[in-house]
Structure formats: C-alpha cells, structure tokens
Chains A and B, each alone.
Chain A
Amino acid sequence: MTAGFELEELGHYVEDEALLQIVMQMWDSFFSTVEPPYPAFEPIGAEGPVLCASVSISGARPGLVTVTVPQATASALAAVMLQEEALPEDEVHDALGEVANIVAGNVKALVPDAGSLGLPVLSTATPRLGNGAAEVGRMDAVWRDGWLSVIVWLS
C-alpha cells in the first residue's frame, strides 16, 4: 500500500461533505441569526489580508485543521458570534480560534487513532503542513462580501 493510497483512504474519513456538515452545524449553533454561507464550486484564492486559525491534531496521522477568512470577515463573524459590534482584535482572534477548535474537534472524531488537539494558533496566512502531509478535506464557502476556507491536512 503506498502512502498516497493511505492518504486517499483518510480522505474518505474526512469527506468534503462531512466538513460542510460540521461547518453548517456550527453555523446553526453560533451564527443562526444571520444568513448561512453557501458552498463555492471552486477553491477560493486569497486576495487581501486574511486571518487564519489553525489547530493541530496529534496521533497516528498528525494533522492540521485551518480556517482562513478575510480579516473583515473575521470581524463580522466574531460580531455575530458574540452579538457585539466593533470587537477588539484579540477578541476577533479568540472567536476565530474557537471556530477552528470546534471544527478540528469534530474532524478529529472522524480520524482513526487520533490523539489530542492543540490549542488554536492565529496567523495572517494559511500554514501548510510539511513532511508528507496532504490536503484530505476542504470546504470553501462564500458569505456576504467575504468567504471562508476550511482545510484538513493529514500526514
């Protein structure tokens, strides 16, 4: 069995449809007062400043879950989540970190022999997992004037 085939198998555990379901479930819980995002047909390319929250997954197949949004979308999402306008930057980061944490926790439940979750890490670019890791799940969606991109990497 090649490493590529194994990664393909892992992709079956974290299907794009499952990712969409996780995101929509989160939307119903924390963003139900506003219109939902709708899936994009193609991966969205980042233009302009973005904010990315990433959470690592340890275990037999270490991985990373990233949630990337334009900075303006991050502020808008945090405002809806906390029902407060004009939140300071650290609260916006904290809210997006929790979104990534929730997605990662539910993704971890789909991955065989997964270990523990890391704490959310915020950055201004989407990190990539090295050492033979591959993208095994992805969900891109459009929301208002912005977008969000959720990517699952496993090695």
Chain B
Amino acid sequence: MRALVVDDSRAMRKIIGGALRKLGYETVEAADGAEALEVLKSGPLPDLATIDWNMPVMDGLTLVTQIRANRAYRTMTMMMVTTEAEHGQIVRALAAGAHEYLIKPFTPDALEEKLALLGLLPEVAGA
C-alpha cells in the first residue's frame, strides 16, 4: 500500500512516514497542499493521505476540499493529522471530506488503530 504524507514539518514527515513504513506502507511526501496536488497528478494514486492542517501555500482543509472535488481521487482515504484539537475543527474537516482525524501528539499505536478502523493496515487489507 502507498501513502502520501503531507506536512510542512520535515520532522513530522519523518515521524509519520517512519511509522507508516513500519506498518508496511510505501510513502511519498509533500510539504504543503499545493505540492501534494502535484504529487497526486504525477504519480500513482496513494491508498492513504495523511494531511496536516496548518501549512504554508495551501492548508490542509483546502487540500481535502480540492481532493474531494476531484472524482479521480475518490478511492483515496484522507486522514487529517493535526494539532487542531477543537471539536468544531474536527467537524469541519470531516464535513470537507476527511475520513478520519488524528490529533497530534499521537503514538504509533494510535495511528495504527485509526488505520485498522479504516481497514487500511496492509496485513488487514491483504487478509
């Protein structure tokens, strides 16, 4: 399985990407929403995108909205991974089209649990 990790922090891209690779994912990265759209245009469609909220150039909520508006990306699951912890923000993200929401800080176990709920653990998907 393939995941796109979108976060303006290189540290977070390493942490999230590392956790996903341990679970069996191949990962690609983007530092903001606009770069993420370029990655989606140029490569095979990932199964999963983890998307930060606050980023320069294009924020995560705008990215989720743009991805959801494009039928070609319908099969990709989007999970917001962000410090935005208010209930209202979670509702906004899910209403825009995000499938799941993970608040930073998180543990690798929490990430794995969310992926299991989505049926996106590589071993689960292959079972």
Contact-size category for B? 20 to 34
Report B21-65 residues with CB < 8 Å from chain A CB. 54-56
Please encode chain A, from 126 to 143, with 1 for each CB lying within 8 Å of some chain B CB and 0 for all others.
000000000000000000
Asked if A29 and B83 make an inter-chain contact with CB atoms under 8 angstroms apart, the answer reads no
Q: Which residue among B83, B85, B104 has the maximum number of chain A CB atoms within 10 Å of its CB?
A: B83
Specify which chain A residues have a CB less than 8 angstroms from the CB of B124 in the assembled complex.
Answer: none
B77 on the A face (CB < 8 A): no
Asked if B105 and A114 make an inter-chain contact with CB atoms under 8 angstroms apart, the answer reads no
| A-B contacts at CB below 8 angstroms, number | 61
| A81-B15 contact given A26-B105, A94-B9, A101-B54, CB 8 Å threshold | yes
Interface residue SS majority, chain B: loop
Q: How far is the CA of A60 from the CA of B104 in the complex (A)?
A: 24
How many of chain A's residues have a CB under 8 angstroms from any CB in B? Answer: 26
Q: How far is the CB of B61 from chain A (nearest CB, A)?
A: 10
A152 on the B face (CB < 8 A): no
| A101-B9 contact given A108-B85, A109-B86, A119-B54, CB 8 Å threshold | yes
Could you tell me which B residues sit within 8 Å of A by CB distance?
8-12, 14-15, 54-56, 82-86, 103-107
Could you tell me which A residues sit within 8 Å of B by CB distance?
25-26, 28-30, 32, 78, 81-82, 91, 94-95, 97-98, 101-102, 104-106, 108-109, 114, 116-119
